[in-house]
Amino acid sequence: MKVDLFDTTPTLDCAGRLLKLDVPRIVGILNLTEDSFSGDGLRADVDAAIAQGIAMVEQGADLLDVGAESTRPGAGEVSAVDEIARVVPVIAALAKRVDVPISIDTSKPEVMRAAVAAGAGFINDVYALRRDGALDAAAELKVPVCLMHMQGEPRTMQNDPQYTDVVAEVKNFLAGRIFACEMSGIDKKRIVVDPGFGFGKTLEHNLALLRGLDQLAALGVPLFAGLSRKAMIGALTGREGGAARAVGSAAAALIAVQRGAKIVRVHDVAATRDALAVWQAVAQGVASTKKAAQPFGSQRFGDDD
């Protein structure tokens, strides 16, 4: 891989696998759970998870996010031991089979360490490193971290979420977590933030956040958005769940990108890639029909032709 020393494009170094943010990047979701809200939980089926991960990369995923604990309202907790047993074999196998970075979706420091040792290069934490030991683990591991806003905790977050100004409050929370990370020795260049759509928010809160997403860009770090197949998509489209929400989810991802998101986390990689490819051609122009025919985000490491 050739590195341009004069290139100032934001780039995340995911344990040696570079995620260049010159165009919006797509994260493919691998749920190793048995109670995923989207109906795609694979639990301990390692072979199925590996096959799905490879397929997502072939469809245009720039990063794979592996998680083993559901965060849907009312979901049961998974022990660190069980979480490690589910994610480590999948991460280790995928690290040998795909060339994109792999993320671990966890809030537990022991899972973070085991996952990175197995080949993960990115930490996606819905608790924004607020659990005991998580900040120290992330600082020690030296991989990029995604800090997400959540009001309350997953089991009760949707009971009665309240905000005076949801955009301002989410922004202030994330600014505080960025500061905490920097004070713990985590370089700001390794920090990504996520407003946490659906995590302690009503439909109105989610829509306000999506409209005001560009205001979070003032935090000075890349924005990460996860709207795929969520209840807000169902409320807006009338679709029950799962793949039936793919079109609405792709539309939401596109809106997030238009408002400044650099990374979108999705279940339906191909649909999202196609939507973003059309947007990119219109918004940024396409040099040739050959370039236009390439899968969106195919040059994920910024290599020369």
pTM metric for this prediction? 0.88
CATH code matching the domain that covers 23-282, chosen among 3.20.20.20, 3.40.50.720, 3.30.200.20, 1.10.1060.10: 3.20.20.20
pLDDT at site 294: 46
User: Burial level of 105, CB count in 10 A (0-12/13-18/19+)?
Assistant: buried
Catalytic residue among 230, 259, 262, 300: 230
- Other Cβ atoms closer than 10 A to 165: 11
199 CB neighbour count, 10 Å cutoff: 23
Task: In whole angstroms, give the CA distance from residue 61 to residue 42.
Answer: 18
List 108, 262, 265, 273, catalytic entry = 265
Half-sphere exposure of residue 115: CA atoms within 13 angstroms, side-chain side: 35
Question: How many Cα atoms are found within 13 Å in the side-chain-facing hemisphere of 51?
Answer: 5
Q: What is the radius of gyration, based on Cα positions, of the chain?
A: 18
265 is a catalytic site residue: yes
- Closest to 163 in 3D by CA, of 191, 213, 199: 199
- Show pLDDT as tens, one digit a residue, over the chain (305 residues): 455 555 678 899 999 999 999 999 999 999 988 654 444 445 667 898 999 999 999 999 999 999 998 776 666 788 999 999 999 999 999 999 999 999 999 999 999 999 999 999 999 999 999 999 999 999 999 999 999 999 877 767 677 788 999 999 999 999 999 999 999 999 999 999 999 999 999 999 999 999 999 999 899 999 999 999 999 999 999 998 889 999 999 999 999 999 999 999 999 999 999 999 999 999 877 543 334 334 444 444 333 33
What is the spatial distance between Cα 157 and Cα 152, in angstroms, rounded to a whole number?
Answer: 5
Question: What pLDDT sits at residue 74?
Answer: 64
Structural element, H or E, at residue 85: helix 80-97
138, 186 in Cβ contact below 8 A?
yes
